[in-house]
Amino acid sequence: DADVTQTPRNRITKTGKRIMLECSQTKGHDRMYWYRQDPGLGLRLIYYSFDVKDINKGEISDGYSVSRQAQAKFSLSLESAIPNQTALYFCATCMGGGSEQFFGPGTRLTVL
Amino acid sequence: GQQVMQIPQYQHVQEGEDFTTYCNSSTTLSNIQWYKQRPGGHPVFLIQLVKSGEVKKQKRLTFQFGEAKKNSSLHITATQTTVVGTYFCAGRGGGGSNYKLTFGKGTLLTVNP
């Protein structure tokens, strides 16, 4: 089984709808991250969490919110989706202390 | 804020040719990581460099961290079709381990067999 899982893997929705992307990990890591990837723009950080009570905004948090329900679960919500939020979304985890990040398989979101 | 610039954005090579991608940070880094993303896949960690001037090798891949800890490079010798994908550098700022990673935009490498 994969250590970092994301659901759904693909989602098509309409403008104005509320969408939740979920991430779960079995690695026991404290730190979790949400990135979005757009062609030519690389990976941009949306939100990150160092533990259940510590949530921080990344460089492009507007239009997004997150919830860290447990150490193993970190959800990303789009309260009212818009077409320019069409992207590939990745969740990642790491142990901390400058260690490597482990990425989930990604969620491809299309907002019509 | 911290910025990490990566060039080139794209590189197409003939199989057997060498390839290099470069990263430059606007600030001094505590460490830099490199990731590879295969087409349709997710980023996978390759290596981390921590020390000034550090050089590490993985088979035909050579990673360097600059003396000033503001730049890094990845060099692949004698490319094969197995190395195709997007290579990202990701820098972590100084001041401790709590700083987040800032990713470069990546270099997409394609290899003509």
Question: How does pLDDT run across B28-54, given as a tens digit for each residue?
Answer: 999 999 999 999 999 999 999 999 999
Question: How does pLDDT run across B70-83, given as a tens digit for each residue?
Answer: 999 999 999 999 99
Nearest CA in chain B to A106: B42
Question: How does pLDDT run across A16-52, given as a tens digit for each residue?
Answer: 999 999 999 999 999 999 999 998 889 999 999 999 9
Residue B39 touches chain A, beta carbons under 8 Å? no
Residue B2 touches chain A, beta carbons under 8 Å? no
Average pLDDT of span A69-89: 96
3-state secondary structure chain A: CCCEEEECCEEEECCCCCEEEEEEECCCCCEEEEEEEECCCEEEEEEEEEECCEEEECCCCCCCEEEEEECCEEEEEECCCCHHHCEEEEEEEECCCCCCCEECCCEEEEEC
Select from A44, A100, A103 the Cβ nearest to the Cβ of B48.
Answer: A100
CA distance B90 to chain A (A): 10
Nearest CA in chain B to A50: B98
